[in-house]
């Protein structure tokens, strides 16, 4: 029989619903946490709910404390520590990075108004309402301008004036769009037909703008985040809306909705820990969220399907940015059991890894290192150096480890520790005899060659300084050659026990574009192909295992096509 147990949830009141904020073992701990949240002046109410698990496994919830407090209705700009690159044109202002910054700096307003940055920028009534809210916009513009000026090394006042000028242009453009009565309605046509009915002679950027105007007219009527998400999901699933520019427009607004502060929590539901939530968000960004314990119509499952089958790049970016910012924050990954903190970190690190590098790229790799720094006693440059080395050391697969370090090189932290990263990479790849760490013995040679070549290409295209990049690609080249030589890859591909046709085809497939980028490795395989081609009566020997003349002709035509693709003719 299961032993009865109880925990205490702290829930805070946001507008018209309760949101889980924390879970504790005792009522006293929960009360302290809840009252502290309430005393900040930004929360309207808090309550403590006792969650008791019965011996039969069922849960019984009982409200043991509830408290409300008057909240100031003044809407202030939220503090931010990051801003997008310099906004120089209106198109920059409509971009995903700018909209993400709007969601952060206008956090309180966005939550209260239930409005996305896209709606604000494309619906004049909503933009006017924002501009008339306290001193919100001037303060927000000032904060963004200060961060942009600091990063670019320019004058803060000049940057603020430039942003204010862009705000005037945005307002004028939205005002003109609001007077247009000729724009088709989505309700009457569907999204893709609406887009197709817009004037195709317009520049692509203007056509996209008008499509977002039409979309915003629908969205501003929905003052519920999940209703907006349902609406956008239905449009994305419509026949004809799941390709090219129309899907890209929907992707941008779905990203805006998910960038609102409370949406991810509402979407995922109650999570056992921050680590569990972050792992689920990483999986969601890849379209791999487990549907277990979720209903078929669950919104998270529906969004997961969209992300699995469609290129929603902006939505992925926003989800992973949320993970990144949480990792850089101070909230424990496993509040209820601090002893599990390192295990939770390891699981998140594992979830980020993939053949294209860590999900979220350099910024995610940097966030992981900074989170790990919290486990170390030392700080400063020595602490960061140690954290980089130990996080990389926690990645068991050598190729994933290289990709993690390559991603980290493309971050502010990576730029500051470029030498340390280069030394770690050389220690990992600099010994050709260690090629075994970079291959899987059970895989066919071609698969291993492709995997090593992919790593070589990722290194060649990385943000490493030129000297370090050249050294790393040379090291990877040596690993490739060592693998081909020591594992007798050419000999295995050219097994004398097989028909000549199969042997030659296997060798040619390795010579195909994209399989090998290493000049030395490619030359080793090409030499063996040339040896075969120079055999007397090669064509006859090539097809002698095929009894039918028509089959022989087809096989020879295919072989000569492969020769051409591989650059032999």
| More reliable by pLDDT, 20 or 459 | 459
User: Residue for token digits 């247009």?
Assistant: 180
**What's the pLDDT score for residue 295?**
83
Q: What is the DSSP string of 96-157?
A: HHHHHHHHHHTHHHHHHHT--HHHHHH-HHHHHHHHTSTTHHHHHHHHHHHHHHHHHT--HH
CB burial readout 127-151, b (16+ within 10 A) else e: beebeebeebbeebbbbbbbbbbee
Residue 388 dihedral angles phi and psi, to the nearest 5°: -60, -45
**In angstroms, what CA-CA distances link 37 with 19, 23, 433, 522?**
13, 14, 58, 63
Per-residue pLDDT band for 11 (boundaries 50, 70, 90) equals confident
Mean pLDDT of the chain: 90
Distance, in Å, from the CA atom of 526 to the CA atom of 522, rounded to the nearest integer, reads: 6
Encoded tokens for 134: 């306290």
Encoded tokens for 188: 């009457």
Q: What is the DSSP string of 472-495?
A: HHHHHHHHHHHHHHHTTHHHHHT-
**Least confident piece of the model among 318-322, 447-451, 520-524:** 520-524
The reported pTM is: 0.82
Distance, in Å, from the CA atom of 158 to the CA atom of 507, rounded to the nearest integer, reads: 62
Distance, in Å, from the CA atom of 13 to the CA atom of 21, rounded to the nearest integer, reads: 10
**What's the pLDDT score for residue 74?**
74
Per-residue pLDDT band for 242 (boundaries 50, 70, 90) equals low
Neighbours of 26 (CB within 10 A): 11
| More reliable by pLDDT, 489 or 229 | 229
DSSP tag of 339 = G
CA 110 to chain centre: 23
Per-residue pLDDT band for 275 (boundaries 50, 70, 90) equals very high
Instruction: Give me the mean pLDDT over the 108-123 stretch.
Output: 94
**Does the pLDDT of residue 55 top 80, yes or no?**
no
Per-residue pLDDT band for 531 (boundaries 50, 70, 90) equals confident
**What's the pLDDT score for residue 59?**
64
**What's the pLDDT score for residue 70?**
63
**Does the pLDDT of residue 169 top 90, yes or no?**
yes
Question: What does the pLDDT look like over 398-445, one tens digit per residue?
Answer: 999 999 999 999 999 999 999 999 999 999 999 999 999 999 989 998
Per-residue pLDDT band for 4 (boundaries 50, 70, 90) equals very low
Residue 8 dihedral angles phi and psi, to the nearest 5°: -125, 120
**What's the pLDDT score for residue 317?**
97
Taken as a whole, the chain contains a residue count of: 569
Instruction: Give me the mean pLDDT over the 206-215 stretch.
Output: 95
Question: What is the tally of helices (H) and strands (E) in the chain?
Answer: 30, 4
Encoded tokens for 244: 């090219």
Instruction: Give me the mean pLDDT over the 319-341 stretch.
Output: 93
**Least confident piece of the model among 46-60, 194-208, 285-299, 482-496:** 46-60
Instruction: Give me the mean pLDDT over the 496-512 stretch.
Output: 88
| More reliable by pLDDT, 541 or 17 | 541
Task: Name which of 448, 15, 19, 48 is nearest 269 in CA terms.
Answer: 19
Distance, in Å, from the CA atom of 81 to the CA atom of 138, rounded to the nearest integer, reads: 17
Question: What does the pLDDT look like over 130-160, one tens digit per residue?
Answer: 999 989 999 999 999 999 999 888 888 999 9
Task: Name which of 351, 338, 376, 330 is nearest 276 in CA terms.
Answer: 351
DSSP tag of 465 = -
Instruction: Give me the mean pLDDT over the 509-524 stretch.
Output: 81
Instruction: Give me the mean pLDDT over the 247-256 stretch.
Output: 95
Per-residue pLDDT band for 3 (boundaries 50, 70, 90) equals very low
């Amino acid at each position: 029989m299961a032993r009865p147990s109880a925990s205490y949830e702290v829930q805070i009141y946001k507008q018209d619903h309760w949101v889980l904020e924390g879970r504790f073992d005792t009522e006293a701990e929960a009360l302290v946490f809840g009252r502290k949240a309430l005393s900040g002046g930004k929360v309207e109410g808090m309550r403590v709910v006792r969650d008791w698990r019965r011996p039969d496994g069922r849960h019984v919830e009982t409200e043991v404390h509830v408290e409300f407090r008057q909240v100031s209705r003044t809407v202030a700009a939220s503090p931010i520590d990051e801003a997008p690159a310099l906004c120089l044109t209106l198109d920059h202002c409509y971009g995903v990075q700018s909209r993400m910054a709007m969601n952060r700096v206008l956090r309180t307003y966005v939550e209260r108004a239930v409005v996305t940055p896209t709606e604000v920028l494309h619906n004049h009534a909503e933009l006017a309402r924002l501009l008339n809210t306290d001193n919100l916009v001037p303060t927000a513009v000032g904060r963004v301008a200060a961060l942009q000026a600091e990063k670019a090394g320019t004058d803060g006042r000049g940057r603020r004036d430039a942003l204010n000028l862009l705000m005037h242009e945005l307002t004028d453009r939205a005002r003109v769009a609001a007077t247009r009565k000729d724009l088709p309605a989505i309700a009457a046509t569907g999204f893709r037909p609406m887009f197709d009915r817009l004037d195709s002679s317009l520049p692509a950027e203007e056509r996209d703008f008008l499509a977002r105007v039409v979309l915003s007219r629908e969205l501003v009527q929905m003052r519920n985040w999940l209703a907006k998400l349902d609406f956008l999901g239905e449009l994305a699933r419509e026949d004809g809306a799941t390709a090219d520019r129309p899907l890209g427009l929907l992707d941008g607004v779905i990203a805006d909705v998910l960038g609102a502060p409370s949406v991810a929590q509402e979407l995922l539901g109650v999570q056992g820990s921050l680590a569990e939530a972050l792992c689920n968000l990483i999986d969601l960004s890849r379209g791999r969220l487990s549907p277990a314990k979720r209903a078929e119509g669950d919104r998270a499952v529906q969004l997961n399907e969209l992300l699995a089958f469609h290129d929603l790049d902006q939505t992925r970016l926003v989800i992973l940015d949320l993970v990144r910012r949480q990792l850089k924050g101070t909230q424990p990954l496993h509040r209820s059991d601090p002893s599990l903190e390192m295990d939770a970190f390891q699981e998140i690190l594992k979830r980020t890894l993939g053949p294209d590098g860590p999900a979220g790229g350099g910024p995610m790799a940097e966030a992981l290192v900074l989170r790990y720094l919290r486990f170390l006693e030392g700080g400063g440059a020595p602490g960061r150096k140690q954290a980089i080395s130990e996080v990389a050391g926690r990645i068991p697969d050598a190729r994933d480890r290289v990709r993690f370090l390559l991603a980290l090189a493309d971050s502010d932290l990576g730029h500051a520790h470029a030498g340390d990263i280069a030394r770690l990479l050389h220690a990992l790849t600099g010994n050709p005899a260690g090629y075994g760490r970079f291959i899987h013995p059970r895989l066919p040679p071609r698969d291993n060659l492709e995997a090593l070549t992919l790593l070589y290409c990722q290194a060649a295209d990385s943000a490493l300084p030129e000297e370090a990049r050249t050294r790393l690609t040379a090291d990877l080249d040596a690993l490739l050659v060592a693998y081909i030589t020591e594992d007798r890859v050419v000999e295995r591909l050219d097994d004398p026990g097989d028909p000549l046709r199969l042997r030659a085809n296997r060798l040619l497939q390795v010579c195909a574009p994209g399989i090998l980028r290493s000049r030395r490795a490619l030359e080793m395989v090409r030499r063996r192909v040339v040896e075969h081609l120079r055999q007397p009566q090669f064509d006859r020997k090539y097809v002698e295992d095929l009894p039918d003349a028509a089959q022989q002709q087809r096989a020879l035509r295919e072989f000569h096509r492969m020769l051409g693709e591989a650059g032999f003719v």
